[in-house]
Chains A and B, each alone.
Chain A
Amino acid sequence: MNRSRIDQDACETLAGCVTEIEKYTAAELVIVVRARSGHYAHADYLFGALLALLGLVFLLFSPVEFNQYWVLIDVVLLFVLGAYVSSKTEAIRRLLTTGKFRASVARTGAAAMFYEAGIANTSAEMGVLVYVSLFERRLELIADRGVLQAVPSQEWNECLFGLHQAGRDPELEGMLKALRLLGALLAAYLPASDDNPNELPDMPRFEL
């Protein structure tokens, strides 16, 4: 499910999946898909600086003579060019950031979304956030206390593992499969009551 494959159809398929899951469980599932969770300006600056450094070395050691004014101009131009190219190229940004950093920003983004989307405020603490961050290739699952206290640890951890695996290379089919497993677990331990209010929107939140 990379960005090019995110479209209205995928969004509606996920919305249908959420509606189906919530029919059988008291849990409130929210899906959020974001292009990226953090700012990567530092990676852009770094790439710009490296390019500028290379240019400077070339100017200094090249047998061709340059006017000294070109040094400053070229260095600045190369820095700007490098930063711009990096900002448009995911591979460069990925190369210049650690997996740990990307995991951390995805997690921070998910935690912020948990509150911002009101998932933390469901009446019976039944909110579950499935947060997919495409650039970071991470899927974060955050569940409210009511859910964590109801599900058995082993099955929950297995479900978590499956979702994390699906998040490493997000594509629609894998996501749907992992979500259905999550839905089955929630339905088994948090079955829907007669009065099963839909407290949160089923339509996934796409920020691409």
Chain B
Amino acid sequence: MIKAIKRLLTGQHPERVLVFCCVPLLLLILNADVFARVGGGQSYGGGGDGGSGDGAAGAILWLVFQLFRILLYLTIEYPLIGIPLDIIVVAGVFYFFFWRRQRIQTGIFSTATGTAPALENSDIPTGGFVREFDQLRKFDPNFSEIIFTDFCYALYGKAQEARGRGAEALDLYSPYLSDAARSSLVQRNQPGLKEVKGVIVGSMAVSSVRGLETPIVQIGVLFESNYTEVTPNGESSFYIRERWDLERKRDVLSPEPEQARALHCPRCGAPLQRGNAGACAFCNTRIDSGEFQWYVSAITLLDREDRGPLLTADVPEVGTEFPSVFQPGFENARVEFERNHPEFAWNDFYARANLIFSELQAAWSTLNWERARPHETDSIFQMHQYWIDAYRKQNLRNVLDRFAVTAMQPVKIKEDAFYNSITMRIGAQGYDYTVDASGRVVSGSKDRLRHWSEYWTFIRNREAKPVAARADLNCPNCGAPLKVNVSGICAFCNGKITSGEFDWVLSRIEQDESYSG
């Protein structure tokens, strides 16, 4: 309360302070007759009523003034009634002016109860946070949405698995998770929990970016995930929606990709290992803020259900007819990119994008998602795996029959500190339907040709060898037939081919109606 009042009074608005301070003074002076009656000091009593001014504003002021007088009278004459009323009024005013406003701005819900109303998609701006991230890059040129996403995925999975091993195991991640965040995670452990496994993030969306004008920048992230908890009574799977609030000093530089996997001390870069009093065993620093790296200040569970998402809704396609959204200055970016990468040829790139598109559609239709593994980054592969698992668990299969790419159009080229990315608008058509285990169509149609388009973003590491994009099913590093493990590592050369270190891989898919460039 005191802090809140201090906050109000310490803005850069002297007039606010003057109003805040002068109004009570004025009211006290105007209320001199009341005090005079109470204190018995009649010498300066007198003065007329406040009176009502002209118009609505005057009437409201008069009403507020009279209410204040009554409240003051009750407080002094009948404190048993007056003081509780004072508390209620002060709390009401505080709620209206501070807490409510803060809640509207941030969308943060209390973690005290463990659950909170689910955030609607409308809480996430349609245009995303492109402008905010660009602004952040002015302070931190290393900031990469790709790396930030990978970091969030990695930390989320590790934290969930660690809580299955108990609070002590989770404490290992204290440089990344605040006490409140860790206790929020541990609170949801069932009695006798042995393990949390199969953590798959279905979607991750940034829901707010705040504080870019202050030394601490805060990012809210919404996760939709699925995991299995093992207890003495057996295994149970849950579908979760939760919000993580991350913060970081705005001016620090984002680490290189290999240091951004929540495996290292954010300060010294040594492997995570706890020493005395929770400090890093190597640099002996106890990290409890976003001084060096993103730090989760709060975790709010929004929804936890044991049933999967609804997969049989027939959602109409939106935005296919929309004009393509190009980045500002796209042509210049394209010319510059071509100049900087003479080995790059659009035809090769189109062929690779086409190959990836076809492989993914085929993998999706057959629920054989391992087939897509070589072509996607870890995070998007995990996201798609979530949906594949959901289909499997419900004995359903979404089929894209006789699909074909009808258009490809590059709309955005971006080079950040670590990755080059190209976003293509890909138009396609096919017969899109969902069948159950018996082959019965439960949604969509086998006869209605569906047209759709999406924005696909492909990335490649900036350090990748400058060679043309490949459009075959061979390892882009060693040339052997594509055979990768679940981590995306080639079985022949041990090169990790899903991080864009050798060739373009798919990093993101966005729908027409949500893509903002």
Binding site for B on A (CB under 8 A): 38-39, 41-43, 45-46, 48-50, 52-53, 56-57, 60-61, 65-68, 71-72, 75, 96-98, 100-101, 103-105, 107, 141-142, 145, 148-149, 151-154, 156-158, 160-161
Smallest CB–CB gap between B2 and chain A, Å? 11
Q: Does B43 make an interface contact (CB < 8 A)?
A: yes
Contact B255 A153 (CB under 8 A): yes
With a cutoff of 8 Å between Cβ atoms, the chain A residues found around residue B215 in the complex are 103-104, 107
* 16 A-B pairs whose Cβ atoms sit less than 8 Å apart in the complex: A41-B14, A42-B14, A48-B21, A49-B25, A60-B39, A68-B43, A71-B32, A98-B3, A103-B215, A104-B213, A141-B251, A148-B141, A148-B253, A153-B259, A160-B252, A161-B267
In the complex, chain B residues 32-85 whose Cβ is within 8 Å of any chain A Cβ = 32, 35, 39, 41, 43-44
Known contacts A42-B14, A148-B141, A153-B142; decide if A107 and B214 are in contact (CB<8 Å). Answer: yes
List the B residue with the shortest CB-CB distance to A75: B25
New A-B contacts (17) at CB < 8 Å, excluding given A52-B25, A68-B44, A98-B6: A42-B12, A42-B16, A43-B10, A53-B28, A57-B28, A66-B43, A67-B43, A68-B32, A75-B29, A98-B10, A105-B12, A107-B214, A145-B141, A149-B417, A154-B269, A158-B267, A160-B249
Q: CA–CA, A161 to B24, complex, Å?
A: 44
Contacting residues, chain B, for A41 (C-beta < 8 A): 14
* A98:B7 contact, CB within 8 angstroms: yes
Min distance, Cβ B13 to any Cβ of chain A, angstroms:
7
By the criterion CB–CB under 8 Å, are B25 and A161 in contact?
no
State in angstroms the CA–CA spacing of A158 and B44 once bound together: 65
Q: In the bound complex, how far is the Cα of B44 from the Cα of A206, in angstroms?
A: 54
- Which residues 1-22 in B have Cβ within 8 Å of A in the complex? 3, 6-7, 9-14, 16-18, 20-22
Flag if B253 contacts A42 (CB, 8 Å): no
A96 to B2, CA, bound (A): 11
CA distance A67 to B41 in the complex (A): 10
A60–B28 CB distance below 8 A:
yes
How far apart are the CA atoms of A49 and B142 in the complex, in Å? 48
Residue of B13, B28, B142, B214 near A56 (CB, 8 A) is B28
Contacts of B35 in A (CB 8 A): 60-61
Is residue B434 within 8 Å, beta carbon to beta carbon, of the partner chain? Answer: no
A105 to B12, CA, bound (A): 9
**Contact (Cβ within 8 A) B269 A42:** no
Chain B interfacial residues counted at CB < 8 A: 45
In this complex, the member of B3, B12, B24, B291 whose beta carbon has the largest number of chain A beta carbons within 10 angstroms is: B12
Beta-carbon contact of A38 and B291 below 8 Å:
no
User: Taking A42-B12, A66-B44 as contacts, is the C-beta distance between A49 and B21 under 8 angstroms?
Assistant: yes
Q: What per-residue 1/0 map shows which CB atoms of B240-271 lie under 8 Å from chain A?
A: 00000000010111111001000000011100
With a CB–CB cut-off of 8 A, which chain A residues contact B24? 53
Q: Does B176 contact A (CB under 8 A)?
A: no
Expressed in whole angstroms, the Cα–Cα distance for A27 and B18 within the complex equals 46
User: What B residues does A52 contact at CB under 8 A?
Assistant: 21, 25
**A56 to B32 alpha-carbon distance, docked (Å):** 10
Distance of A61 from chain B, by nearest CB (Å): 6
Interchain CB contact under 8 A, A157 and B253: yes
Which parts of B122-177 form the interface with A (CB within 8 Å)?
A: 140-142
Please determine whether A46 and B253 come into contact, CB atoms closer than 8 angstroms: no
Q: Does B504 contact A (CB under 8 A)?
A: no
Closest 7 CB pairs of A and B: A49-B21, A68-B44, A153-B253, A42-B14, A42-B17, A97-B10, A101-B10
Most buried by A among B24, B251, B292: B251
State the CA gap A119–B266 with chains docked (Å). Answer: 30
Chain B 207-235 interface 0/1 with A at a Cβ cutoff of 8 Å (1 = within): 00000011100000000000000000000
A68–B45 alpha-carbon span in the complex (Å): 8
Q: Shortest beta-carbon distance, A14 to chain B, in Å?
A: 22
- Which A residues are in CB contact (< 8 Å) with B22? 49
A68 to B41, CA, bound (A): 10
Q: B272-311: contact bitstring with A at CB < 8 Å (1 yes, 0 no)?
A: 0000000000000000000110000000000000000000
